[in-house]
Amino acid sequence: MAVEIVADGAAFRWRIRSERGNPWDAAEVILTTQRPDGSRQAFTFRTVDDGLESIEEVAGPHRFAARVSRVHAKHAHDYDFSFGEALPAHAVRDDVRRLTAAAGGFQDAHELAHADGIRRRFANREVTNGQIALFGLTGGLIPCPAAITVLLLCLQLKEIPLGVVLVLSFSVGLAITLVVVGAAAALSMRHASRRFAWFSTMASRAPYLSSILIVAVGIYMGIHGWIGLSA
């Protein structure tokens, strides 16, 4: 399916057409857009000669995240994509530039889901250094399995003060690590993206590589554990 914005006289409307000659039913389709400021709009469709056309007009500027939903047979299919005008870099805010397909490149559904959550949370807001530091502190102070394990061991040994000190040290150390690593990663990625054109593509593939690594480690540990049990 091809999704585009076409001029209808003085108005602009969404147009969805089939590339394989199997058009969708207009009553089954809805398209939802979300602009960088967080505002949303839903579009319904009618059947035209070469596909489907939105009943509602599309107001400019034409840059937003979009989702086409097809509801049929008591279930839905969602297709996420980014849509944007090719604007000069100085005319587009950083979050909009990452959103638009023209400047930011293709984003799959997983990337768009994260980007959508970030935009909704921080729309029309500036993140301060204090908020970043608070994020690291709260992340480090949230109990984790390792900290709880240490605390339980100390309780078993009846060394409650030692357990409290160890968990506190663990939490503060984790908070400092999160802040330092996060700041270092942001700065290094910014410089690397400017120097190496392929770095952004490699970084977008990193989650897939990490998932493969985790699966490989899990398989190794499972085999190692099975051998230990058999012995």
| 31/77 Cα distance (integer angstroms) | 12
| Residue 28 confidence (pLDDT) above 70 | yes
pLDDT in tens, 182-225: 788 878 877 776 777 777 677 777 778 888 999 999 999 999 99
Parent domain of 219: 197-231
Contact call for residues 15 and 5 (beta carbons, < 8 A): yes
Same domain, 66 and 16: yes
Same domain, 116 and 139: no
Which residue, 122, 143, 166, sits at the end of a domain? Answer: 122
Instruction: Determine the pLDDT at residue 182.
Output: 79
* Percentage of the chain modeled with pLDDT above 70: 72
Same domain, 14 and 92: yes
Contact call for residues 22 and 51 (beta carbons, < 8 A): no
| 27/152 Cα distance (integer angstroms) | 59
Same domain, 149 and 227: no
| 67/84 Cα distance (integer angstroms) | 14
Which residue, 122, 154, 170, sits at the end of a domain? Answer: 122
Q: How many residues does the structure list for the chain?
A: 231
CATH number at residue 9: 2.60.40
DSSP code of residue 56: S
| 25/170 Cα distance (integer angstroms) | 58
Same domain, 214 and 145: no
Same domain, 89 and 180: no
Position with higher pLDDT, 29 vs 174 = 29
| Residue 55 confidence (pLDDT) above 80 | yes
Which residue, 74, 100, 122, sits at the end of a domain? Answer: 122
Same domain, 133 and 90: no
pLDDT in tens, 113-158: 566 566 656 655 666 777 777 776 666 556 577 777 888 888 888 8
- Burial of 54: CB neighbours in 10 Å, binned 0-12, 13-18, 19+: buried
| Residue 96 confidence (pLDDT) above 80 | no
Same domain, 114 and 96: yes
Instruction: Determine the pLDDT at residue 61.
Output: 84
Same domain, 10 and 110: yes
Position with higher pLDDT, 174 vs 91 = 174
Same domain, 110 and 166: no
User: Based on the structure, what is the number of domains in the chain?
Assistant: 3
Same domain, 70 and 103: yes
Same domain, 33 and 113: yes
| Residue 93 confidence (pLDDT) above 50 | no
Q: Which of 54-58, 103-107, 121-125, 175-179 has the lowest mean pLDDT?
A: 103-107
